[in-house]
Structure 1
């Protein structure tokens, strides 16, 4: 992959990676996705995050589970970064009430695991 790759190109590759990965390899961290795609610095995590946001919009529009739920932060809490939740709220998939986000994320992740394209 080269620095000139567009976010739509990266999003297509991220979807393919997550769809073909075995269940026991998921969820993946943002860094693992970047490495699997061969992204080179700078801004590797930012580009992965932007690609995931695009996938979220596509999946919500198509009324599918968000495949982006299969990517988590390496912070150790097995949750995506805050941007995932902000985007899920903006897309109308999650309510603004953050108290519900963890439970809804776990449900979304399970649905995404079962519905891989």
Structure 2
């Protein structure tokens, strides 16, 4: 199933991530879905958009803004699919559910907080 996000929702996603970055905060998938008011299938749409953004950031050799989105659970990490995506993009190698993944994620979040992204993204 191919999932698409509207231009309006895409821009709202970029705006939310930029605001979170400027405030040095992380967002949960659930909070982002609610803020963006994504239509069903909301989680699949959000995940597809975040993976697309990760690919764009990777291609531009920028820190991955999608790393700012985490699960509500105690781990405070993105869902396993995020780590599978960053492995495919060549940004991370190793077990997707271990200390190396958590450490890589913390490092990537710090890089996102410090990076100045071009305005047009």
Range into which the TM-score falls when normalised by the shorter chain? 0.7 to 0.9
Q: Where does structure 2 lack aligned partners over 5 or more consecutive residues?
A: none
Checking the alignment, whether the CA contact within 8 Å between 1:73 and 1:80 is kept in structure 2 is yes
Matched residue, 1:46? 44
Q: Give structure 1 regions of 4+ aligned residues with deviation exceeding 4 angstroms.
A: none
Counterpart Cα distance in 2 of 1:113 and 1:8: 26
Q: TM-score, normalised by structure 1?
A: 0.83
| Residues 1-117 of structure 1 aligned to structure 2 (within 5 Å) | 6-7=4-5, 9=7, 10-21=9-20, 22-23=22-23, 26-40=25-39, 42-98=40-96, 99=98, 100-117=100-117
Query: Which blocks of at least 5 consecutive residues in structure 1 are unaligned?
Result: none
In the alignment, the residues of structure 1 paired with residue 65 and residue 73 of structure 2 have an alpha-carbon distance, to the nearest angstrom, of 20
State how many pairs are aligned.
Answer: 111
Of stretches 56-65 and 11-20 in structure 1, the one that deviates more from structure 2 is 11-20
Q: Write out per-residue CA displacement over residues 25-48 of structure 1, whole angstroms, 9 at most, x where no aligned residue.
A: x210011111111213x2211111
